[in-house]
């Protein structure tokens, strides 16, 4: 395996995690978390764990992202700005 690809995927994963913590818009945070899950799936695939990669891509990036977006649209704010 190419360790440079693993290293840069891990660096981008850390940046995506920090970005998800710092972003103020909840919809943008959901998008960054879905990107994080997709990058984690790429890292798992690069490491040879194809089954784990597939589950991470479908559940982490797909299903949970859709559920987070649905939860955002089904809730409302207590106060208007």
- Is this model's pTM higher than 0.75 or not? yes
User: Which pLDDT score, from 0 to 100, does residue 81 have?
Assistant: 61
Do the Cβ atoms of 47 and 24 come closer than 8 Å?
Answer: no
The predicted-structure confidence for 26-51, as pLDDT tens digits, reads as follows: 889 999 999 999 999 999 999 899 99
Mean pLDDT of the chain: 89
**Quick count: other Cβ atoms within 10 Å of Cβ 8?**
12
| Res 79 pLDDT > 80 | no
User: Which pLDDT score, from 0 to 100, does residue 80 have?
Assistant: 64
């Amino acid at each position: 395996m190419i360790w440079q690809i693993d290293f840069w995927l891990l660096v981008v994963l850390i940046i995506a995690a920090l970005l998800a913590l710092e972003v103020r818009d909840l919809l943008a945070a959901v998008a960054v978390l879905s990107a994080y899950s997709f990058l984690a799936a790429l890292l798992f695939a690069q490491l040879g764990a194809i089954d784990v990669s597939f589950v991470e891509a479908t559940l982490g990036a797909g299903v949970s992202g859709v559920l987070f977006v649905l939860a955002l649209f089904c809730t409302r704010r207590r106060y208007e700005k």
